[in-house]
Structures are given as C-alpha cells and as structure tokens.
Amino acid sequence: MNRIAVAMSGGVDSSVAAWLLTQEGHQVIGVTMKLIEAGCAREYPQTGCCSREAIYRARTTCHHLGIPHYTLNFVREFEQDVVRDFREAYANGRTPNPCLRCNEKVKFGALLRLLMTACGVEYVATGHYAVCQHSNGRVSLLRGADGTKDQSYALYGLTQDQLSHALFPLGRLTKKEVRKLAHQHSLPAAETPESQDLCFVPDGNYRDFLIERIEPSPGLIYDQTGRTIGHHDGLHNYTVGQRCGLGVNSLQALYVIDLDPGNNTVTVGPREELPRHWCVLRDVNWVGLAAPRTGQSVEGEAEVRYRSAPTSGSLTMISDSTARVHLPNNSNTLTPGQSLVLYQGDVVVAGGVIEKAWN
C-alpha cells in the first residue's frame, strides 16, 4: 500500500483517478492547488481552476470516497514559473504552452517536492491520459489508450525522477469509460463539462490578458518580399500561423509567417509559406531513451503541437540540450515557443521547445 496524493481539479478525470486508487487499497489524499488569486477566482466563479465550485466538488468527492482533502497555496510558484513565462514568451514573439510548463514546474515540481518532504507522499497522481511503464531501471512515457484524449505530449518535459513518482490511473481507459465509472459510483463530478481554456484565463480571451500586462511596442508588418504593408502594436498580438486580426488589407488571405523580436517586425504571406521542414529545439528532454551523443540522430514520428498529425522526422543532437530536427514531409506550422515531441510508436522518445524554423 502506497501513500498517494491525487491532484484534484474538481473535474471528472481526477475524481475517477482518486476512486481507482482507493479501490486498489492505497492510502490516498486529495489535493487541490490554489493557483490564482482570490479576485480572479471570484471574477470567474463557475470556470476557474480555483473557483469555489471546483474546490467544493473536489472536497465533496474526497468526502464521498472517505479520504482527506487539502487545498494548498501555489499562487507564487504558478505566477513565477507559468504566468510570467507565458507573458514573457508572447512579448518576445513566442507562443508558449503553459500546461506543459505547469506539469513540469508545479504539479510534478513544487507540489511533488512539498508532499514528499512534508507528508511522506510517495506518488502524485493526476487525471492525465498517459501511461508510465517501468523497465530496466527507466520509466517510459507512452500514449494513453484513448487517442482522442492522449496527453503524453503535455508530459514530455518530466524528468526520470519525476516520472518515477508519477501515476496516471486513467492511461488505459477511454473518456467514455471514465464517465461511466463516475456515474456508476455517483461521483459528484460525473457531469462536469470539459475544461478547454487556460486555467488562469478562464474566459478564453488571452489577448486581453496580455494587453493588460504587456506595454505596447509598435513595429512594422512586412510581406514576404520585404515590403512594408502595415503596422502593429506589439508582437504579443500575433502568433505564427495566425490569419485573422493581422491589421493589413489584402485581396488574398495572409498568414503570419515569421515574428522577429530583434527587429520587432511581423512578416505575413500566403498559406503555402507556412510549412517548415527544419527546426532547432532547445531544452531537449530525453524520456524513452538515454540521451545520444552530439551528432547522433534518432528517427521517429513528430508532433509539432498538441494533437497535431504526426509526421516522420529525425532529431540530431547539436549540444547537450539542443537538437536539430528534419521533417521532410511536414505540412504543419512550426511555431517558436511551442513544443515538438518525437515518438516511436506509442513511446515518447524526446521533446523540446521550438526555437526557430526554416526550409
């Protein structure tokens, strides 16, 4: 029997994860992280991750399961490691993925460390749809059984130490099966709708969130020939691949092709200019394999954003933490700031943050 903390958002996935672990006889506690200030939680009382309703559902579920529930304050850590990174990335022409950052720095970072040292917890479990597999002293991360819900992409940044203390009880289940279990066992969150927005921007309008936190920085908009065709108020208003709201008039559909933070410029062009076949990754984390030597290459299938169609590719290390990736058949947009994750079958091999892309 293990002492396990379940990170509970008040939703159906974490609720069923907690139920499954209690059925296995583990010593389970429920933990809800307070990540945003009370003012924001009051502003969006129905949807925020720290809303009264979410905390109430998590607490009620724990009472239903006969396990203790705690609400822990991680506002400072979340602001420093997730929100600030989100703001700074957009200000510098990058498009971040804050959920990946939260998994690495908060859920399986600050929370795991606190619970292990203060509460004797051995594992932190979440409602992610992914699978951990232990073999030969290494933990592999695999896709979840439900291809429509697989969240292994969002977990690639976890280290071997973090994965060794992580549990994903829903990895072998489908979302339909999870809902069915929640109804069968009368869990309070059985009908809770899916959360689609950023937890700290629960109304979904992240542009307004950024405008309130980033000073305007006017610059020029170029077409792909280098001709000036417009002006912008800041790179944070754009992301590579964006079509709407460009602030230019054109008879043809235009997309953001490139953001240049050094010169504070936006380049737009036709859709066919978007696909890129080469990119550099930074902060590369090797999950399924030991890191290869500099100059060595590994083949696999790459996902260039969450739930994008996989495309064949090869990853070549160019330093301890950076790699060059070749995607010969890529038809997707490679967006700096987003993550590229390399798979071999269902196994996560490695991943990193896209620094730059080219043809």
Give 138: exposed, middle or buried? Use CB within 10 Å, 0-12, 13-18, 19+.
Answer: middle
Q: Does 124 share its domain with 55?
A: yes
Residue from 67, 170, 92 nearest 356 by CA = 92
By the 10 Å C-beta count (0-12 exposed, 13-18 middle, 19+ buried), 24 is classed as exposed
β-pair partners for 134 = 139
Instruction: Report yes or no on 287 lying in a domain.
Output: yes
1/285: higher pLDDT: 285
Task: Reply yes or no on whether the pLDDT at 159 is more than 50.
Answer: yes
Give the structural domain span for 345: 278-358
Is position 209 within any domain?
no
* Six-digit token string for 137: 């002293």
Which pLDDT does position 86 carry in this prediction? 96
Q: In this model, does residue 48 exceed pLDDT 60?
A: no
Q: Which of 133, 168, 184 is the last residue of a domain?
A: 184
Quote the pLDDT of residue 199.
83
Residues 39 and 168 in one domain: yes
Mean pLDDT of 47-58: 77
Total domains in the fold of the chain:
3
Residues 262 and 137 reside in one and the same domain: no
pLDDT value, residue 299: 97
pLDDT band (50, 70, 90) for residue 196: low
Mean pLDDT computed over 196-205: 77
Mean pLDDT of 225-249: 94
pLDDT at 51 over 80: no
**Could you tell me the two tokens for 241?**
């691949």
Question: What is the structure's pLDDT at 201?
Answer: 84
Q: Could you tell me if residue 198 is inside a domain? A: no
Residue 197 lies in a domain: no
Catalytic residue numbers, as ranges: 102, 199
Q: Which of 100-104, 151-155, 218-222, 306-310 comes out lowest in average pLDDT?
A: 306-310
Residues 141 and 219 grouped into a single domain: no
Q: Which band of pLDDT confidence, cut at 50, 70 and 90, is reported for residue 41? A: very low
| Proportion of the chain above pLDDT 90, given as a percent | 84
> DSSP strand E in the chain: where?
3-7, 27-34, 69-73, 123-125, 130-135, 138-143, 166-167, 219-223, 228-232, 255-260, 265-269, 278-286, 297-303, 311-317, 323-326, 339-344, 347-358
Q: Which residues of 105-134 are buried (b: 16+ CB within 10 A; e: fewer)?
A: bbbbbbbbebbbeeeebbbbbbbbbbbbee
Angle, alpha carbons 93-152-341 (nearest 5°): 50
Mean pLDDT for 238-258 is: 93
In the predicted structure, residue 45 carries a pLDDT above the cut 60: no
Model pLDDT, residue 46: 45
Q: Are 314 and 303 in contact (CB under 8 A)?
A: no
Q: What pLDDT was estimated at residue 314? A: 97
Instruction: Please indicate, yes or no, whether residues 250 and 142 belong to a single structural domain of this protein.
Output: no
**pLDDT value of position 49:** 59
Q: Which pLDDT belongs to residue 197?
A: 67
Residue 202: inside a domain: no
> Where is the domain boundary, 228, 253, 273?
273
Same-domain check for residues 107 and 229: no
- Residue 230 is part of a domain; what is its CATH number? 2.30.30.280
Domain co-membership, 43 together with 87: yes
For the segment 237-253, the average pLDDT, to the nearest whole number, is 92
pLDDT at 42: 39
pLDDT of residue 50: 63
Indicate the average pLDDT of the chain.
93
245 with 319, same domain: the answer is no
Helix or strand (DSSP H, E) at 163: helix 160-164
For every residue of 43-65, which 3-state class applies, written as one string? HCCCCCCCCHHHHHHHHHHHHHH
> Which among 138, 165, 184 is the end of a domain?
184
Q: Is residue 206 part of a domain?
A: no
Domain CATH number, residue 282: 2.40.30.10
Backbone angles phi, psi at 266, to 5 degrees: -120, 130
Instruction: Give the type of residue at 149.
Output: K
Are 105 and 234 found together in one domain?
A: no
Tell which residue, 240, 239, 236, has the closest CA to residue 215.
236
Q: Binning pLDDT at 50, 70 and 90, where does residue 1 land? A: confident
pLDDT higher than threshold 50 for residue 47: no
Same domain, 258 and 151: no
For residues 334 and 292, give the distance between their C-alpha atoms in angstroms, rounded to a whole number: 24
Q: Do 324 and 247 belong to one domain?
A: no
Same domain, 111 and 179: yes
Whichever domain contains 127, its CATH number is: 3.40.50.620
> Which residues, other chains included, contact 121 with Cβ-Cβ below 8 Å and sequence gap of 6+?
3, 4, 5, 29, 112, 115
Q: Is residue 210 part of a domain?
A: no
Q: What is the pTM of this model?
A: 0.93
| Cα gap 105→103, rounded to integer Å | 6
Residue 303 lies in a domain: yes
